[in-house]
Structure 1
Amino acid sequence: MELLPVRPTVKLPAQAFTGDAYLTPIRQPAGLSRMTVALVRFTPGARTNWHAHAVGQTLHVTEGVGLVGVRDGSVLRIHAGETVLCPPGEEHWHGAAAGTFMSHLAMLESSGDGSDPTTWLEPVTDDDYRRADER
């Protein structure tokens, strides 16, 4: 058994996020494990760019209300206690609803070949975000 210390929280880069979002690392791949886990906190209206994960992603909401959108225009409104499974290769975005903070555990695996498990794409437009939040 091993107790891991709390790691410093970092502000996430504007190149991949709109608004203010912060990440506290929890677990990085080590040994046989390919799992990455982080607590991500979004301020109201903050969101990721469009992106996809080679092996998929699991999001477990710990606080607030958020949004998860996919390319076909579908949007999920997510709440504390709910979990979203994003399948491998699905282009999506996620973030806080306009009037609330949202925090989630982001869990993903690497493919094991040393490549980045996340492919970052363009920002979600303000208009697309507003339409998603109005649903």
Structure 2
Amino acid sequence: MEHITSTPTAKAPSERFTGDVYLNPIETPSAPAHLVAALVRFTPGARTNWHSHVKGQTLYITDGVGLVGTRDGDVALASAGETVKCPAGEEHWHGATDTTLMAHIAMLVGDESGDGTTWLEPVTDEQYATALKSADR
């Protein structure tokens, strides 16, 4: 058994996120499981860049209300206690609404080379505004 008493909060890198986003790592990929998990907190309007995961990603919303958007324009509005699953290879983004913070536990399975995430360009303000309008609020 390993008891980890705390992990320091870090500001998310601006080359992968828009707005103020904070990370607390929970688990980093290591054999044999290669689980990656983190508590991620988004202030209103903050979001990830477009990205994908080689083995998919599961997002469990712990607080607030968030959006998860895909390249084909699908948008999920998710609240605390809800889960959104993004399949392997699907380009997507996630973040808070424009008025409410959102926190989630992000979980994925990496491999020997890392977490299997491919980071892409930022979600534009126009794409974000369109997602807000299409979300059922």
TM-score interval, normalised by the smaller of the two chains = over 0.9
Paired residue secondary structure (2:32):
coil
1:1-135 matches, within 5 Å, as: 1-110=1-110, 112-135=111-134
CA distance in 1, matches of 2:31, 2:21: 29
Cα deviation for residue 115 of structure 1 reads 4.6
How big is the alpha-carbon RMSD for the aligned residues of Structure 1 and Structure 2? 1.0
Unaligned runs of 5+ in 2: none
Cα deviation for residue 30 of structure 1 reads 2.8
Q: In the alignment, is the contact (CA less than 8 A) between 2:45 and 2:99 conserved in 1? A: yes
TM-score (norm 2): 0.94
TM-score (norm 1): 0.95
Q: In the alignment, is the contact (CA less than 8 A) between 2:10 and 2:22 conserved in 1? A: yes
Unaligned runs of 5+ in 1: none
Q: In the alignment, is the contact (CA less than 8 A) between 2:68 and 2:95 conserved in 1? A: yes
Q: Deviations over 1:66-99 (max 9, x none)?
A: 0000010110101000001100000000000000
Q: Which amino acid aligns with 1:39?
A: L
Cα deviation for residue 56 of structure 1 reads 0.4
Segments of 4+ in structure 1 off by > 3 A? Answer: none
